[in-house]
Chain A
Amino acid sequence: MGSAFVDLTCSYVPVEIIRAAGFTPRRWLPTPVGAGGGLPQSLCSYARACAAGSGTAAVFTTCCDGMRRCYDLRATRGDRVFILDLPRTAHDAAVTYFARELQRLGDWLAGLGGQAVTPKSLAAAVDMESGRRQHLLRRTTGAARAVERYGVYLESLATSPYQATAYGTDAAAPGPGEGPPVLVTGTCPPDPGFVAAVEESGLRPAGLDFCTVIRGFAEPPLGEGGDPWLALARGYLAKPPCPRTADRARRRAYLEQLLDQTGARGVVAYGFKFCDHTAYDLGLWRTVCRHRGLPLLYLEGEYGAHAPGQFLTRLHAFREALEA
């Protein structure tokens, strides 16, 4: 049972609980399904891909309507799926509520045949995940190119046949860019192809802001002692805020901090078609960029579609504008 995977589709699912239950958490980046998957094409292509299922137990969150519909569809099919109601704020009431949700997740995992999650097993899982994050940090610190860093992040999330192929293909893309530093943000590209395209255009991705990168690997500040469920809930809700969070001031402060840290001279935002949160976040990015006098390039694609030539023209033009 210890080696059985449990897929998760959101970086706010505490992997420690899945570990403590004796399973292996895997951030699921499934094979793209194009028009298939069983969900309408007006939902985002990542949700459609997740809806296709893999036969593995999966944990969804209420992060967006697409994921809710994905859960509904798979639950109807009889798949082993769980949906975690994810608060959009980090207030005390939200933390208390989320802690109860996490306990419900622990119970569900035990019902799947896992071990009962105890404070002791949770503490051990916290240590283990912390060690993995430290190891990842060391590996990415040594990578000179953004495409290599992103490859390491993806590799550490999971391995699926689709992802393994994608790494092999895209990690060899030409680069690196030594041009103007940019911050690359948006929806999680399932392979390094998009980041490689940014480098290929001559831009230098000085920072990556995807939930598959630092937002997903940030160490949750768990604190010492007390109720471990409350600590996990508080820690995860206090992580770097993602686009779906309702506390826009906190999200904005995070974006400003990223720009300060990276010295980015522009922002490249990438989103999937029909991704509500990308559209939501884009408005904030526009405001921040306008306030700082930074140019913003928004590119829209499909989950799993490798950066097409049209992206390259836009990226090249963006670089030329930054260099002019």
Chain B
Amino acid sequence: MITVGVDIGSVTTKAVVLVDGEWRGASLLATGADNRGSAEAALVRALAEAGVKREEVAVIVATGYGRINAPFAHRQVTEITCHGKGCHALLPQTRTIVDVGGQDSKVIRVDDRGRVVDFVMNDKCAAGTGRFLEVMARALETDLAGMAALARRAGTSVPISSTCTVFAESEVVSYVAQGRPKEEIIRGLHEAIVDRLEAMLGRVGVEPAVAMTGGVALNRAIVEELSRRLGMEVHVPPHPQLVGAFGAALIACTATA
């Protein structure tokens, strides 16, 4: 049975193809302004990578904030459920998932079968999300890859607001004007994101093991700081930004077209 999960996020659209539950292909591309177009393109690319024809696909499940914009999908499932399912399949010991995407962040508690027990979600503002890091990288004339390296190099940090991207950017500009080293500012920004995540974790409670998904999980400085705060290792599955699409494809395995 061939199934596909398509995760239409605010920044990137992802697709994962499974053949009898085994990962065969994936794609990741920018969502842009055309949700439907990017969903279609992600599907086509993932099928091509898997070497699968479209008519061979049994079930497609769409997820992500743009999930209603995938007319080819047989079913829509929220990204909360999909991340729970996908992360549990990759790291079965996981009970707490921290998912930080481009536009929102979530903390999801799952049981020993990957079923969602509780969740909390921040999608009211960009604070503590990938967008926050993007805005700050631009303000500091660096890129996302460089941000993590610079943060890890800093010996200390400057305090940054954890509640608003606009205020935080203004703080960054002030620190730059004061001549504070870029590394310290970037470290402060990373700590602000972790402050936010820690507050969300406090609302649903932390049960080990903890895993992190979403594009921001590729940032080692964030993962290390969160691990330090929690006093336990935060695990990152392979291809953390594809976990939602993978979970959707797994759910498709049990769904009917």
Q: List 13 A-B residue pairs with CB atoms under 8 Å apart, sorted by A's residue number.
A: A295-B117, A309-B65, A310-B124, A313-B78, A314-B80, A316-B78, A317-B81, A320-B77, A320-B78, A320-B80, A321-B115, A321-B119, A324-B116
The interface residues of chain A lying within 8 Å CB-to-CB of B49 are none
Cβ-neighbour of A317 out of B65, B116, B124 (below 8 A): B116
In contact, B115 and A317 (Cβ under 8 angstroms): no
The interface residues of chain B lying within 8 Å CB-to-CB of A324 are 81, 115-116
Q: How far is the CB of A223 from chain B (nearest CB, A)?
A: 45
A-B pairs, top 8 by smallest CB distance, nearest first, are A317-B80, A317-B78, A321-B116, A324-B115, A320-B81, A316-B78, A310-B123, A313-B78
Interface residues of A in 302-318 (CB under 8 A from B): 309-310, 313-314, 316-317
In contact, B77 and A313 (Cβ under 8 angstroms): no
The interface residues of chain A lying within 8 Å CB-to-CB of B123 are 310, 313
- Considering the complex, give the chain B residue whose CB is closest to the CB of A296: B118
The interface residues of chain A lying within 8 Å CB-to-CB of B115 are 321, 324
In contact, A313 and B65 (Cβ under 8 angstroms): yes
Interface residues of A in 265-324 (CB under 8 A from B): 295, 309-310, 313-314, 316-317, 320-321, 324
Interface residues of B in 104-162 (CB under 8 A from A): 115-119, 121, 123-124
Cβ-neighbour of B121 out of A295, A314, A320, A321 (below 8 A): A314
Q: How far is the CB of B79 from chain A (nearest CB, A)?
A: 8
Max chain B Cβ within 10 angstroms of own Cβ: one of A309, A314, A320 = A320
What's the tally of chain A residues with a CB closer than 8 Å to chain B? 10
Q: How far is the CB of B109 from chain A (nearest CB, A)?
A: 10
The interface residues of chain A lying within 8 Å CB-to-CB of B65 are 309, 313
Complex Cα–Cα for A97 and B79 (A) = 54
A295 with B118, Cβ < 8 A, contacts A310-B123, A310-B124, A313-B65 known: yes
The interface residues of chain B lying within 8 Å CB-to-CB of A321 are 81, 115-117, 119
B64-104 vs A, CB cutoff 8 Å, 1 = contact: the mask equals 01000000000001111100000000000000000000000
Complex Cα–Cα for A324 and B82 (A) = 12
Complex Cα–Cα for A313 and B116 (A) = 14
The interface residues of chain B lying within 8 Å CB-to-CB of A314 are 80, 119, 121
Q: How far is the CB of B83 from chain A (nearest CB, A)?
A: 10
Q: How far is the CB of A197 from chain B (nearest CB, A)?
A: 14
Q: How far is the CB of A194 from chain B (nearest CB, A)?
A: 17
The interface residues of chain B lying within 8 Å CB-to-CB of A309 are 65
In contact, B118 and A313 (Cβ under 8 angstroms): no
- Considering the complex, give the chain B residue whose CB is closest to the CB of A314: B121
Complex Cα–Cα for A321 and B79 (A) = 12
Complex Cα–Cα for A314 and B120 (A) = 9
The interface residues of chain A lying within 8 Å CB-to-CB of B121 are 310, 313-314
A11-31 vs B, CB cutoff 8 Å, 1 = contact: the mask equals 000000000000000000000
The interface residues of chain A lying within 8 Å CB-to-CB of B81 are 317, 320-321, 324
